[in-house]
Amino acid sequence: MKTSLSYGHYYDYDELKAALEGFARQYPGLCTLESNCVTEKGREQFVMTLTNKDAGDALSKPGWYLDGNIHAGEVTASMVALHFIDTLLTGYAGDEQIRRLLDRFTVYVIPRVSPDGAEVYLHSPAHLRSADRADHPKAGGLFPTDLDGDGVIRSMRVPSPYGAWKKDPDDPSRLCLRSPSDTEGDFFDLYAEGLWEDGDTDEDNLQPKKPDWSLDFNRNFPFGWYPAPRQPGAGDYPLSNPECKALADFVIAHPNIGGASIGHTSGGLLLYPPGTMPSAKAAPQDLKVLREIAAMGQEELGYVPLNIFDSFLSDQENYDSGAFDDWCYQCRGIPAYTVEYWDLPGKAGVPFPWGSKEPESTAQQLQRFEACRAWVRENAPQYNLDWIPWEHPQLGPVEIGGLQSKFTLQNPPEAFLEAESFEDAIRNAISLGGDSDTIGAITGAVAWAYYGRDGIQPDMRSMLDEIRLPEDLQTVVDDFAEYCAGHAGTGR
| Interface residue list for Zn ion (CB under 5 A) | 71, 74, 264
**Dihedral sign computed on CA atoms, order 456, 462, 466, 468:** positive
Q: What gap in Å lies between CA 16 and CA 21, rounded to an integer?
A: 9
Pairing verdict, β 384-392 and 396-403 = antiparallel
In single-letter form, the type of residue at position 136 comes to H
In single-letter form, the type of residue at position 464 comes to L
∠ CA 301-451-295, rounded to 5°: 15
Residue nearer to Zn ion on the CB measure, 264 or 347: 264
In single-letter form, the type of residue at position 237 comes to Y
CB of 405 to Zn ion, least distance (A): 14
CB of 214 to Zn ion, least distance (A): 14
Residue nearer to Zn ion on the CB measure, 193 or 216: 216
Q: What gap in Å lies between CA 404 and CA 384, rounded to an integer?
A: 6
Residue nearer to Zn ion on the CB measure, 33 or 344: 344
**Dihedral sign computed on CA atoms, order 267, 270, 274, 280:** negative
Residue nearer to Zn ion on the CB measure, 119 or 320: 320
CB of 114 to Zn ion, least distance (A): 11
**Dihedral sign computed on CA atoms, order 343, 422, 110, 19:** positive
Distance of CA 82 to the CA centre of its chain: 15
Residue nearer to Zn ion on the CB measure, 76 or 404: 76
Q: What gap in Å lies between CA 407 and CA 424, rounded to an integer?
A: 19
CB of 266 to Zn ion, least distance (A): 9
Cβ neighbours of residue 397 closer than 8 Å, sequence gap 6 or more = 159, 389, 390, 391
**Nearest residue to Zn ion on Cβ basis:** 264
Residue nearer to Zn ion on the CB measure, 91 or 412: 412
Residue nearer to Zn ion on the CB measure, 158 or 271: 271
CB of 74 to Zn ion, least distance (A): 5
**Residue 476: which H helix or E strand, with range?**
helix 471-486
CB of 73 to Zn ion, least distance (A): 8
Q: What gap in Å lies between CA 112 and CA 121, rounded to an integer?
A: 13
What are the phi and psi torsion angles at 399 (to 5°)?
Answer: -125, 145
Q: What gap in Å lies between CA 143 and CA 193, rounded to an integer?
A: 8
DSSP 9: S
CB of 77 to Zn ion, least distance (A): 8
CB of 275 to Zn ion, least distance (A): 13
Among 401, 395, 399, CA closest to 203: 395
CB of 193 to Zn ion, least distance (A): 23
Residue nearer to Zn ion on the CB measure, 71 or 347: 71
Residue nearer to Zn ion on the CB measure, 86 or 216: 216
